[in-house]
């Protein structure tokens, strides 16, 4: 997988190569990360890349020419061009899985008030947002996307299963994890995890995942794949919570 990041701050995104999973994947040649400075493509003699907004308003807008030329020169024949923007569709695990099948992702990062709309209309394949909030540029969004996609590429994670078991990959949030010591300041590890009974442990973890998803992100349960026993567990959980609510009044 190849990532090309178009940005005014290439060093910021380059820093990912120094860490953990991404760093190792780059070293092994499983992913390639190229950072391109949009400023290198301006034809402006003062090296400017931004200007005031037509129609007035605060802040500066990135000009079409440097961004469009940076895209044209770097996308190659196989580049899928993504603009990171709060106006995009919100990134999900299934979107990451779809992107992981591509050969080459070109990530365009705006700054200031954004990029001239004509670039977005004519040079971009899609817009993606990492959440309903505004950041000062697209770079953090690009880094989130690179990390999320890279983990799905064969060989990047040391244990293949760890990508599958995590939160969101099964449509549920993940169950909690425990490590030594067994007793931490009076708080003990759930006994089932010490039992060595793998079937019981699986069942316990599944129920914990259902419970945490029900409490924090019930919207995910609408699309998650649920077995009959999952459904009856959730029904019992709901009845128990409603009973407790009425019991308190």
pLDDT in tens, 150-163: 999 999 998 755 76
- In-domain check, residue 169: no
Q: Tell whether 93 and 43 lie within a shared domain.
A: yes
Is 55 marked within a binding site?
Answer: no
Last residue of a domain, one of 101, 129, 160: 160
Q: Tell whether 147 and 31 lie within a shared domain.
A: yes
Q: Tell whether 150 and 189 lie within a shared domain.
A: no
The CATH number assigned to the domain holding 15 equals 3.40.1280.10
Q: 201 near 192, Cβ under 8 Å?
A: yes
Strands 60-62 and 50-52: antiparallel
- The predicted pLDDT at position 167 comes to 65
- The predicted pLDDT at position 245 comes to 85
Neighbours of 143 (CB within 10 A): 21
* Residue 8 DSSP class: S
CA separation for the pair 92, 95 (Å, rounded): 5
In order of 7, 12, 73, 200, 225, the CA distances from 4 in angstroms are 10, 14, 11, 46, 35
Is 133 marked within a binding site?
Answer: yes
* Residue 174 DSSP class: P
Residue 244 lies in domain = 183-248
**Phi, psi (degrees; rounded to nearest 5) at 154:** -50, 130
List the structure tokens of 219: 């919207």
Is 29 marked within a binding site?
Answer: no
Q: Tell whether 56 and 135 lie within a shared domain.
A: yes
Nearest to 7 by CA among 75, 117, 109, 105: 109
Is 71 marked within a binding site?
Answer: no
Q: For 51-70, what is each residue's pLDDT tens digit?
A: 999 999 999 999 999 999 99
- In-domain check, residue 168: no
Residues 198/202/208/209 CA torsion (nearest 10 deg): 150
Is 110 marked within a binding site?
Answer: yes
Q: Tell whether 188 and 146 lie within a shared domain.
A: no
Q: Tell whether 147 and 196 lie within a shared domain.
A: no
Last residue of a domain, one of 97, 128, 160: 160
Q: Tell whether 132 and 243 lie within a shared domain.
A: no
Neighbours of 114 (CB within 10 A): 20
CA separation for the pair 244, 154 (Å, rounded): 46
Q: Tell whether 44 and 119 lie within a shared domain.
A: yes
- Can you give the pTM of this predicted structure? 0.88
Q: Tell whether 120 and 151 lie within a shared domain.
A: yes
- In-domain check, residue 54: yes
Q: Tell whether 10 and 112 lie within a shared domain.
A: yes
Q: For 59-104, what is each residue's pLDDT tens digit?
A: 999 999 999 999 999 999 999 999 999 999 999 999 999 999 999 9
* Residue 184 DSSP class: E
Domain count, the chain: 2
The CATH number assigned to the domain holding 208 equals 1.10.1270.20
Stretches in the chain below the pLDDT threshold 70: 160-161, 163-165, 167-169, 248-249
- The predicted pLDDT at position 158 comes to 81
């Amino acid at each position: 997988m190849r990532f090309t990041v178009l940005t005014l701050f290439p060093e910021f995104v380059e820093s990912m190569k120094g860490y953990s999973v991404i760093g190792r994947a780059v070293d092994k040649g499983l992913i390639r990360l190229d950072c391109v400075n949009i400023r290198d493509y301006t034809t402006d003699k003062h090296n400017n890349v931004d200007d005031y907004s037509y129609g007035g308003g605060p802040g500066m807008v990135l000009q079409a020419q440097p961004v469009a030329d940076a895209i044209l020169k770097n996308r190659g024949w196989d580049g899928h061009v993504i603009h990171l923007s709060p106006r995009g569709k919100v990134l999900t695990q299934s979107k990451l899985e779809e992107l992981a099948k591509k050969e080459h992702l070109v990530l365009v990062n705006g700054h200031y008030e954004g990029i001239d709309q004509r670039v977005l209309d004519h040079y971009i394949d899609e817009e993606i947002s990492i959440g309903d909030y505004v950041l000062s540029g697209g770079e953090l969004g690009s880094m989130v996307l690179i990390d999320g996609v890279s983990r799905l590429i064969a060989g990047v994670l040391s244990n293949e299963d760890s990508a599958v078991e995590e939160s969101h990959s099964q449509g549920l949030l993940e169950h909690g994890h425990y490590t030594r010591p067994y007793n931490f300041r009076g708080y003990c590890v759930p006994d089932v995890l010490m039992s060595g009974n793998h079937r019981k442990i699986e069942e316990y973890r599944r129920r914990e995942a259902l419970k945490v998803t029900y409490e924090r992100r019930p919207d995910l349960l609408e699309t998650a794949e649920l077995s009959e026993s999952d459904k009856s567990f959730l029904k019992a959980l709901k009845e128990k919570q409603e009973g407790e609510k009425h019991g308190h009044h």
